[in-house]
Amino acid sequence: MAKRVVKRPVAGRARKAGAGGAPAGKRAESYAHPEASSLLRPDVGVQAQFRKKKPPQRYRYDSSLAPALNWDGQNPGREIGEWLLALIREAAALPAPHAFETPRTMRAGEAVIEVRSLADAVDQLERLGRPFLDWAGKAERVSFEVPTLPLFLHERLSTQAILETLKGHKRDRQLDMFQLFADPQRPVHDQVLRAYEYPDKWVNRMVLGDSLVVMSSLLHYEGLGGQVHMIYMDPPYGVKFGSNFQPFVRRRDVKHNDDGDMTREPEMVKAYRDTWELGLHSYLSYMRDRLLLARELLSPSGSIFVQISDENVHHVREVMDEIFATRNFCGLIVVQKTGGLGASGLKAVADYILWYARDAERLKYRQLFRRKVVGLGEGSGARYDQLLSPDGMTVRPLTAEERDDPSRIPSEWRPFQLTSLTSGAFRENTTVPYTFMGDVFHPGENACWKTTVDGLDRLARAGRIQKAGRTLRYRRFLDDFPAFEITNVWDDVAGAADKVYVVQTSTSVVARCMLMTTDPGDLVLDPTCGSGTTAYVAEQWGRRWITIDTSRVPLALARQRLLTATFPYYQLKEDGRGPAGGFIYARRQNQKGEEVGGIVPHVTLKSIANDEPPDEEVLVDRPEVDGKVTRVTGPFTFEATIPTPVDFEGDGEEDAGAGVGEAHGTFVDRMLEVLRRSPVLHLTGNRTVALHHVRRPAKSLSLSAEAVVAKPGEREPAGARRPQGAPVSGATGGAGEVAEPRVDGDPVALVFGPENGAVSEKLVWEAAREAAAKRYTHLYVVGFAIQPNARELVEKCDATVGVPATYVQATPDLMMGDLLKNMRSSQIFSVCGLPDVRLRRRKAKGEERGDEYVVELRGLDVFDPATMDNDRLGGADVPAWLLDTDYNGLCFHVCQAFFPRTAAWDDLRRALKGEFDDAVWEHLAGAASTPFAAGESGTIAVKVIDDRGNELMVVKKLEDAEE
Ligand SMILES: C[S@@+](CC[C@H](N)C(=O)[O-])C[C@H]1O[C@@H](n2cnc3c(N)ncnc32)[C@H](O)[C@@H]1O
């Protein structure tokens, strides 16, 4: 591995010049989190050597909630109840806080009940008698197992590093870049031997994988239990599941099970559509598993928010009551959405957010406020119906026009309302007459003034008292406190503008949840990343983030969204501490005298009457902004649970690979089942290859399946069946397979890569040799990921082994078992292209500068295995491509990121106006890189993201560059 120089870490702000020496003017900076750390995760390139295997983790539900435990006659519930009562008696005799020295336990069937304190025992006892939601399979499933997988680092991304590359191509800049990636450049042996031991600098994280597996990894590889301050979860709502899976990066107009690809496969529509009613049971198990792990991750003062629609909000709340306990319920937030169109009857225009605390008594809560607006009902803005002239001499009611449009209120006239100056009880020193402007007023025999006579005098001098018939009233001005507390009805959170993802949440919704329950520098997690709204909002508000998704399409969108985002620079209280030191808030007024800062006065009758300075309230969403700085997303990593197959045992068998073993057998069966249901491989341009007679081959050593590919132009009647036992042409027969009519076509072989790993070269080699020996006409290598050398072998299989091969990418969503039933077939298997990349060397302009290089993405070649033709997609027709100008073979550093033919970089371009030539930005929206200098490794890597989110990588040596 090439050694990389690490210079000064980029922490806090570089005030004199922008990071990387940007000239004065509007400069780009990001926040760092110098006080936080996380355990070193290994780069994907060291997987083969990584040995720290962990056994699967078993999670148990709270056994007192098992549906079998009803409190009656012979039921075990009775025994548990009596045991709990005894513990309550015992704990009550202990000194406060009535905790046992060691937890008391009792076995109930498979589960173990644990009681730590009096409160615990009371809680458990209460639960025994509480009604619960039951569903199919719940009683039997008292625990579940999750594989404990390490996370490998696949990419390091940094907007600042990209901007640095654009600034120039000098070698020293190139070296400086690794600190911009926050890459500590650990030697390989450290990564192999000390991974998950070394604390490293904190970097935000995007993770590809099932949330259950990733959360389990965070818990058991990294010990992150109890360290997450807030979780925002926006799961599929459990209805119309298909619409949560957007199959294309650049097409979000998907309707549930209704995209073009589905309608071309009517039998598939039927097979997938009718499963959800039954699937609700698995949906609830799906939610319960994930919520249980989420709870483990939450800090004692932490909160979880679950966004859900009205169809299942009641069920999910029941499940959350079980997992988090009813007493930790903090609220049900109603979020107005634009929707309900086309529905008959009462239009449903709300989604819901369920909010639970890890422990309501220790909850971190920051009150949020909304601005009071004259004429509007919220916060009683409508009650401010009077105006006082600037000289304090004239009072008049607001006109209807002024109420409708407060900008019509003449400047310096102050809106106010008249409120009571009395309270309803006799008090000796305040139930007295009071003289105001020559008239005597009395509060009434059974009432009193709200303040003393001295206080009333002060109010009068401050112009706060007004005659109203036979009594006196208090003038409360709108600007006494121009804000009001938010409630659980959020009808002012605009929907996501310019949505990139079909189910994108509005940023203001997530921002409110985050600002209410976290402080800057806290850690937030989203196990359902989608287009990355939580990460985006966390980045905006200086929170640390981890976001997870099982699909590549949303993660491709989220990466682009974060890399190209710009945010206000909120001033930090302590530069050296990053956001964790807090933001600066100040009191400020605009020209009209309105309070517009993050600190607002809270003037009250009491403060005036007692001659006290008014209280002040902090509006946490209004920190001071440094207008000279454009803030960009800080460095983040792209990680995945998908490692390469590794021989952990050292016995020559790849553990996660296509070796023997029960788990792999089950996995192959599942994949076969999926392939039979969706026997269509998708290519670019809506072309497909259909497989028939998919089945297990007899006596196979390495192959997973065989099938027949109909010759081009041939069509098979949908749903027809082959007579039992009829042989597949050209291949060895097998018994007990699904019968289909005979289709004349080419017999082909399939091999499935590992469930939790990438396809290895060894797997391709062995499968290809067997396929060639058995005279199959083609080998399909199906995997979730593939090692570069394995991919190379696939391409050269025909020449090397004598059988052509094609790599077929399977979507990682497949790992979610049951839910798969509702997935679009168009997303399951796709044939990815191979990038055609041209690397050129040229003399750099300027005297001392040596060679510079340019990469051009000429296109994506997609092989059609049915016609044996190559189809080409132009370089500028891909959704995204990334360039590492100094690839070390371990992890991809995104030095340049291209989003062709989009306006993705436009915000940043505008914000950094003048810093870069237009040509630079044009490169980033095209198919050719900006020039760069040679790095130490002498190697570059290009990663292309295709329309389905598949990632295709090529590596090139600089010495092979064209002149
Ligand atoms: C409703 S979307 C989230 C949208 C997100 N709030 C946004 O603003 O873009 C749900 C996401 O959860 C992902 N998902 C579903 N099941 C998952 C699982 N088991 N693990 C990880 N991600 C999952 C889907 O791929 C989808 O992107």
Cα torsion 731, 736, 738, 743: sign: positive
- Any idea what DSSP says for residue 223? -
Which residues, other chains included, contact 887 with Cβ-Cβ below 8 Å and sequence gap of 6+?
Answer: 893, 935, 937, 939, 940, 941, 955
Is pLDDT at 171 greater than 80 in this prediction? no
Give the atom of ligand 1 at the shortest distance from the alpha carbon of 558: 9
Q: What is the pLDDT of residues 636-650, one digit of tens each?
A: 999 998 655 444 444
244 lines ligand 1 (CB under 6 A): yes
- Any idea what DSSP says for residue 496? P
Q: What are phi and psi of 48, to 5 degrees?
A: -60, -30
For 266-279, what is the mean pLDDT? 35
566 lines ligand 1 (CB under 6 A): no
pLDDT of residue 155: 95
CB 574 within 8 A of CB 565: no
The 10 Å CB-count burial string (b at 16+, else e) for 458-492 is ebbeeebbbeeeeebbbbbbbbbbbbeebeeebee
Q: What is the pLDDT of residues 317-361, one digit of tens each?
A: 999 999 999 999 999 999 998 765 556 788 888 999 999 999 999
What's the residue count for the chain?
Answer: 963
Residue 718's SS3 state is coil
Q: Both tokens of residue 136? A: 């199919």
Weakest mean pLDDT among 45-59, 486-500, 807-821: 807-821
From the CA of 287, how far away is ligand 1's center (Å)? 12
Tell which one of 539, 550, 822 to mutate to probe ligand 1, the residue whose CB is within 8 A of the most ligand atoms: 550
From the CA of 710, how far away is ligand 1's center (Å)? 36
The residue ranking higher by pLDDT, 180 or 845, is 180
Q: What is the pLDDT of residues 748-806, one digit of tens each?
A: 999 998 887 788 899 999 999 999 999 999 999 999 888 878 888 998 999 999 999 99
Q: Output the CA torsion 557→562→564→565 (10° steps).
A: 130
HSE value, Cβ hemisphere, 13 Å, CA-based, for 497: 3
CB 958 within 8 A of CB 837: no
Whole-Å CA distances, 20 to 67, 264, 385, 882, 921: 61, 53, 55, 21, 18
Q: What is the pLDDT of residues 913-930, one digit of tens each?
A: 877 778 888 888 899 999
Give the atom of ligand 1 at the shortest distance from the alpha carbon of 237: 1
Q: What is the pLDDT of residues 651-701, one digit of tens each?
A: 445 554 333 445 566 778 888 888 887 788 887 666 788 888 889 998 888
pLDDT of residue 581: 97
816 lines ligand 1 (CB under 6 A): yes
Q: What is the pLDDT of residues 559-609, one digit of tens each?
A: 999 999 999 999 999 999 999 999 999 999 888 778 889 999 999 999 999
The Cα 498–Cα 495 span in angstroms is 9
Q: Both tokens of residue 359? A: 């422990």
Is pLDDT at 253 greater than 70 in this prediction? no
Average pLDDT taken over every residue of the chain:
81
Q: Do the strands 228-233 and 523-526 form a parallel or antiparallel pair, or are they unpaired?
A: parallel
pLDDT band with cut points at 50, 70 and 90 for residue 495: low
For 260-289, what is the mean pLDDT? 51
Q: Do the strands 434-436 and 439-441 form a parallel or antiparallel pair, or are they unpaired?
A: antiparallel
pLDDT of residue 879: 87
Question: Can you say how many angstroms the Cα of residue 424 is from the centroid of all Cα atoms in its chain?
Answer: 53
Q: Both tokens of residue 496? A: 């996501």
Q: Which helix (H) or strand (E) holds 420?
A: strand 414-420
Q: What is the pLDDT of residues 359-412, one digit of tens each?
A: 999 999 999 999 888 876 666 677 899 999 999 899 999 999 988 888 889 988
Which residues, other chains included, contact 879 with Cβ-Cβ below 8 Å and sequence gap of 6+?
Answer: 249, 250, 556, 899, 900, 945, 946, 947
From the CA of 530, how far away is ligand 1's center (Å)? 5
By alpha-carbon position, which residue is closest to atom 22 of ligand 1? 549
Residue 294's SS3 state is helix
pLDDT of residue 570: 97
pLDDT band with cut points at 50, 70 and 90 for residue 304: very high
Q: Using a pLDDT cut of 90, give the percent of the chain over it.
A: 44
Which residues, other chains included, contact 679 with Cβ-Cβ below 8 Å and sequence gap of 6+?
Answer: 690, 691, 692, 694, 707
Q: Both tokens of residue 305? A: 């928010």
HSE value, Cβ hemisphere, 13 Å, CA-based, for 619: 24
Q: Which helix (H) or strand (E) holds 706?
A: strand 705-710
From the CA of 546, how far away is ligand 1's center (Å)? 14
Whole-Å CA distances, 143 to 77, 692, 723: 19, 39, 42
pLDDT of residue 219: 97
By alpha-carbon position, which residue is closest to atom 2 of ligand 1? 530
Instruction: Output the DSSP codes for 12-55.
Output: S---SSBTTTBPSSSEEE----TT-EEEPPPBGGGGGG-----P
550 lines ligand 1 (CB under 6 A): yes
Is pLDDT at 884 greater than 50 in this prediction? yes
The Cα 537–Cα 6 span in angstroms is 30
pLDDT band with cut points at 50, 70 and 90 for residue 861: confident
| 717 cis-preceded (ω within 30 degrees of 0) | no
Amino acid at 44: V
The Cα 309–Cα 352 span in angstroms is 6
The Cα 950–Cα 400 span in angstroms is 59
From the CA of 214, how far away is ligand 1's center (Å)? 13
Is pLDDT at 247 greater than 90 in this prediction? no
By alpha-carbon position, which residue is closest to atom 19 of ligand 1? 210
Nearest to 148 by CA among 72, 209, 231: 209
From the CA of 931, how far away is ligand 1's center (Å)? 37
CB 64 within 8 A of CB 123: no
Is pLDDT at 264 greater than 80 in this prediction? no
897 lines ligand 1 (CB under 6 A): no
The residue ranking higher by pLDDT, 841 or 374, is 841
CB 758 within 8 A of CB 642: yes
From the CA of 861, how far away is ligand 1's center (Å)? 30
Q: Using a pLDDT cut of 70, give the percent of the chain over it.
A: 79
Other beta carbons within 10 Å of 685? 10
From the CA of 510, how far away is ligand 1's center (Å)? 15
By alpha-carbon position, which residue is closest to atom 25 of ligand 1? 551
From the CA of 947, how far away is ligand 1's center (Å)? 18
For 528-541, what is the mean pLDDT? 96
Weakest mean pLDDT among 314-318, 662-666, 727-731, 837-841: 727-731
Tell which one of 213, 244, 305, 507 to mutate to probe ligand 1, the residue whose CB is within 8 A of the most ligand atoms: 244
Other beta carbons within 10 Å of 15? 12
Is pLDDT at 496 greater than 70 in this prediction? no
pLDDT of residue 383: 87
The Cα 283–Cα 18 span in angstroms is 49
Tell which one of 549, 824, 948 to mutate to probe ligand 1, the residue whose CB is within 8 A of the most ligand atoms: 549
Label residue 611 exposed, middle or buried (CB < 10 Å: 0-12, 13-18, 19+). Answer: exposed
pLDDT of residue 621: 96
Q: What are phi and psi of 192, to 5 degrees?
A: -80, -45
Which residues, other chains included, contact 319 with Cβ-Cβ below 8 Å and sequence gap of 6+?
Answer: 133, 284, 287, 288, 291
Q: What are phi and psi of 164, to 5 degrees?
A: -60, -45
